Amino acid sequence: MTWTLDSGQEIISHPSETNREQKPLWDHLTGVSDRAAAVSENSRSQTESPLSNKARLLGLAHDFAKATPAFQRYIRDEFYDPPKHHARLGSLVAYFFLEQNGYERETRLAGMLAVAKHHGDVPDAASYIRKTFDEPRIDPVGSNQTIQAIEQAKTIEEHAETFARDLFREAVGEGAWNDFLEKIGYVSDSPILTDIVEDAGKKGGFAGELEVKGTRFNESIYTTHLILFGALTFADKTDAAGIGSDDNRLWGKYPSLDKLETHLNELGGEPQNDIENQLNEVRTEVQDEIPAQTHEFLESNQSVATLTLPTGYGKTFAGLLAGLTLCDDHDGRLVYALPFTSIIDQTSGTLQEVFETDTSGNLLTVHHHLAETRTDTENEEEDETDEHASHEVLLAESWRTGLTLTTFVQLFESLAGPRNGQSLKLSALQGSTVIIDEPQAIPQHWWPIVRKLINMLTEQFDAQVLLMTATQPSLVEGSFELIPSEQLLEIEQSAFTGDPPSRVQYQLHPTALVTENEDRLSHPDGANLLAETIVSGDTTLAICNTIESTRTLTREFVDSISESKTDPVTVSELYEEQLDEDEIGGLSATKEYDGKPRPSIERGRLVRAVVEELRTKETAAYLHLTTRVRPCDRQFLLAVANDLAGMDILFALISTQLVEAGVDISFDTVYRDFAPLDSIVQAAGRCNRSYERAPETGVTTVWQLEPPGEGNTPPSTAVYAPNRNRGETDLLMHTRSVLETVRDEHGTAFADEVLAKDAIERYHDTVGERVHSVSESNDLVTAFEQADGKTLREASLIERRQSVEVYVCRTKEEHDSATAIESLMKERKFDKVDSKRDELASIRVSIPVPRANTDAASGILSLEPLLDEEEKRHDPERILPASNSIFDPEYGVQPSEYGVEDRFF
């Protein structure tokens, strides 16, 4: 059947475009309704459970106001008399549908808000209701959208009565349209507005203002709103983009547990010594225990499990094994969340190898903030651009593949207070398994709200959550231990024929626990100690807290080595020389060939070049890494560093914390600038990782560096000092207290088990107790409990400041690809623009906007804008040729000034 206006014009939702016919509004509403219901149940079948039926009703309501003659003329690019907006009337229709179907007050408000903002972001519910429904008749010129929505209903009755009657019959039953017209009433008397006001609060005060009661907007409304909002935005955008319900990309392909088990069985390699052979036995025993323990977890009716394994015990594979076992039981997706983008690549490579896939198919999505460069501000005007969205970007942001690898930022910020695009992924979490790897890296201010978000995942989304790390924080209560400590000890004693040998010896440098700047270690003295260690024959890793500290230590190290030997070999310089040869490294290193990542033979060429240079010069080699180095270069160079660290050469890696978690690399010796205890333990995980030095141990030294340059704030304080106003506790104080106790009991040198067990557990118990004790005053928790999505949307796990996104082009191919984006935009080839941006994400570096009227600001802002020369000062994206003085092959992008923002995060 074709529905038309009284003029005979067909009622459509989207116009015809290249490769797509126009879409009838009826088909769009029913299509969105069916899809929203289906994804609410995480299946392709349309069910009538309470959750899916709520989503079904919102889908029918959301674009109802597009049936006005004004919108039909607008969408055909004809002259029209305003208004053309449709979300406000759609929200009133959604409220009516839910009310008529017997849903309670909380659901009515949550559903109404979901439709009202389906082109926007989650709002502060109370503020939105107050602004929208507090005496809408006071606007004398009739521009108030609520007044206009009432008039739109009358217009639809006049021009599209049959369409309205049929749609309302579909949602409620015979006669529902007449009931709605009576309910919506008139500007002077609208019963439905009165009902909404009574649901939200009451009229009061001298002027009869709407008093929105805070108790009326609670956690239950908010979580219901998030679920319905996510289902609706996903269904609406994918249907508008022309992605059919039979498109396999909507449902994804799930990872195979059998493939993982086969991969684990085929893992081999000759162990370097007896202890490494025994370590392999521990890994195998742990993996053998995981399936049975996971089934026991399922039978326990608990929803959160923990997996706590020391460094080198195969945590990633054990976690994947548990996760896929849970997925098999739940028939749901697997979401694997890591703390930092810098460690995504290695895990992605592992997943591609295990499941014999790549990121272009329906099995694996890798999604993090490098795919996003702009943050749109909330706008009262609706954005009618769903039909232009790239299929690839929509589906990537929707996490529809069976396995998604992402970051804490994407997971927790999307759950807490999503922007419109972030909400697309929420429906994919229904019935999923979520692995949170290295949860101790979650900023402590977020711990109380993350506890609530995990609870929402397990209760409202019916998800299973697995927290896994070597240093388990006190994040949740009452979790299920997949490998209890007693069981792990039995496994260790069986494999090692007694207690496991020490892997690392910790040493506290005399400066480790000092509190005054004059007592801290200078960078030149630290560099001398580093050089002495290298010259003695140990491969060495030094982890600094800030970018400037890392640069300073690197430069001092070069000077120190040069005093006793010839100038050291700079791995970055050799990389620069080879970058254009046969597409080694750079952007080409991230490409896939025959569906697989480029073989390691390419990095082997650089390794051989380093070794040959060392033989010629008889000196040491070094590599400097921070987040100012392009992601693709970091990925390639970390793999090279791992190869060099395993060789009998003089080699040092000087880096920020980007190597601290999730990077499979091992050195003889590690130096760690003072940091929270879990960071110190994680750093030690890069030392003698698989007992390569056995029977000797590795050595991890904790020192405390003084402020670099002319600054007064030591790097440890700059990064980890608490913000007292946010209810955070002093992690450095607790670390110092624990280490002082350890020093008093064991001296300044002690085995790794001293820290990795009792001390770290005591530390996390203390920190967790302090953090959760003030959770009631936590602003994020308060916002969550009051349905204040705006506050949560503006919060972030990482410190945000205005930044410039710089595309660093080191080859002609990279520069041509970056400059091609502007012409693609002008040609409105949006899919290709999104694909090109995604392709170039690995050469993009985010630079905090320098202070105005400085050399750094003029240098960055003078770069070629990615898109529009006329908007040069406002465009946050720039193109940086490698020939520009702002770029250095060793240090990456380096404006002429550095600040506290020059840190890992």
pLDDT tens-digit series, residues 142-164: 458 888 999 999 999 999 999 99
**Average of pLDDT values for 293-306?**
94
Pairing of strands 844-848, 803-809: antiparallel
pLDDT at 883: 86
Q: What's the length of the chain?
A: 905
Give 49's pLDDT tier (boundaries 50, 70, 90).
Answer: low
pLDDT at 681: 92
Window from 266-280, 491-505, 580-594 with minimum mean pLDDT:
580-594
Each residue's pLDDT tens digit, 533-546: 999 999 999 999 99
pLDDT at 374: 31
179 vs 885, more confident: 179
Task: Tell whether the model's pLDDT for residue 206 goes beyond 50.
Answer: no
Backbone CA torsion sign across 413, 414, 417, 421: positive
Q: 351-370 in b/e burial notation, b at 16+ Cβ within 10 A?
A: bbebbebbbeebbbbbbbbb
DSSP three-state, residue 20:
strand
DSSP three-state, residue 888:
strand
Residue 389 · residue 400 · CB < 8 Å: no
Task: Tell whether the model's pLDDT for residue 301 goes beyond 60.
Answer: yes
pLDDT at 663: 80
Residue 804 · residue 876 · CB < 8 Å: yes
Any idea what DSSP says for residue 803?
A: E
Task: Tell whether the model's pLDDT for residue 869 goes beyond 80.
Answer: no
**Average of pLDDT values for 589-618?**
74
Task: Tell whether the model's pLDDT for residue 706 goes beyond 90.
Answer: yes
Select from 415, 437, 419 the least CA-distant residue to 427: 415
Task: Tell whether the model's pLDDT for residue 580 goes beyond 80.
Answer: no
Give 375's pLDDT tier (boundaries 50, 70, 90).
Answer: very low
Give 141's pLDDT tier (boundaries 50, 70, 90).
Answer: very low
Task: Tell whether the model's pLDDT for residue 622 goes beyond 80.
Answer: yes
Task: Tell whether the model's pLDDT for residue 383 goes beyond 70.
Answer: no
Instruction: With residue 65 as reference, give the H or E element that holds it.
Output: none
> What phi and psi values does residue 544 have, to the nearest 5 degrees?
-105, 170
Q: Residue 59 is encoded by which pair of tokens? A: 């889908």
DSSP three-state, residue 218:
coil
Residue 345 · residue 353 · CB < 8 Å: no
Each residue's pLDDT tens digit, 728-781: 788 999 999 999 999 999 999 999 989 887 888 889 888 888 888 877 788 999
Give 725's pLDDT tier (boundaries 50, 70, 90).
Answer: low
Select from 14, 98, 15, 17 the least CA-distant residue to 50: 98
Task: Tell whether the model's pLDDT for residue 386 goes beyond 60.
Answer: no
Structure-derived torsion over alpha carbons of residues 250, 256, 260, 261, reported in degrees to the nearest 10:
170
Gap between the terminal Cα atoms of the chain: 56
pLDDT at 878: 86
Residue 642 · residue 512 · CB < 8 Å: no
Any idea what DSSP says for residue 754?
A: I
pLDDT at 900: 38
Residue 362 · residue 253 · CB < 8 Å: yes
pLDDT at 723: 60
Q: Residue 615 is encoded by which pair of tokens? A: 């033989």
DSSP three-state, residue 812:
helix
686 vs 579, more confident: 686
Please tell me the distance from the alpha carbon of residue 551 to that of residue 655, in angstroms, as a whole number. Answer: 9
Q: Report the share of the chain in percent with pLDDT over 70.
A: 87
Please tell me the distance from the alpha carbon of residue 616 to that of residue 448, in angstroms, as a whole number. Answer: 57
**Average of pLDDT values for 548-558?**
96
Give 520's pLDDT tier (boundaries 50, 70, 90).
Answer: very high
Task: Tell whether the model's pLDDT for residue 702 goes beyond 90.
Answer: yes
863 vs 230, more confident: 230
671 vs 78, more confident: 671
Task: Tell whether the model's pLDDT for residue 46 goes beyond 80.
Answer: no
pLDDT at 830: 73
* C-alpha 243 chain-centroid distance: 25
**Average of pLDDT values for 565-576?**
93
Please tell me the distance from the alpha carbon of residue 584 to that of residue 636, in angstroms, as a whole number. Answer: 9
Strongest mean pLDDT among 386-395, 496-505, 830-839 = 496-505
Strongest mean pLDDT among 55-69, 212-226, 234-248, 259-273 = 55-69
Residue 364 · residue 470 · CB < 8 Å: no
pLDDT at 79: 85
Select from 122, 659, 654 the least CA-distant residue to 340: 659
220 vs 596, more confident: 220
* All residues at 6 or more sequence positions from 637 whose CB lies less than 8 Å from its CB, including other chains: 571, 572, 575, 623, 625, 629
Select from 194, 74, 91 the least CA-distant residue to 148: 91
Each residue's pLDDT tens digit, 775-833: 778 899 999 999 999 999 999 887 666 678 889 998 888 888 888 888 888 887 777 78
Give 208's pLDDT tier (boundaries 50, 70, 90).
Answer: low
Select from 556, 615, 595, 632 the least CA-distant residue to 813: 632
pLDDT at 396: 79
Give 214's pLDDT tier (boundaries 50, 70, 90).
Answer: low
Q: State the burial class of residue 57 (Cβ atoms within 10 Å of its Cβ: 0-12, 13-18, 19+).
A: buried
> What phi and psi values does residue 357 have, to the nearest 5 degrees?
-145, 180
850 vs 611, more confident: 611
Select from 714, 663, 684 the least CA-distant residue to 508: 684
Please tell me the distance from the alpha carbon of residue 32 to that of residue 237, in angstroms, as a whole number. Answer: 9
Residue 203 · residue 398 · CB < 8 Å: no
**Average of pLDDT values for 423-447?**
92
Window from 82-96, 111-125, 206-220, 614-628 with minimum mean pLDDT:
206-220
What distances in angstroms separate CA 470 from CA 48, 56, 159, 598, 769, one per listed residue? 44, 44, 66, 31, 20
**For the residues of 601-625, what is the DSSP string, one character each?**
HHHHHHHHHHHHHHHHHTS-EEEEE
211 vs 549, more confident: 549
Task: Tell whether the model's pLDDT for residue 680 goes beyond 70.
Answer: yes
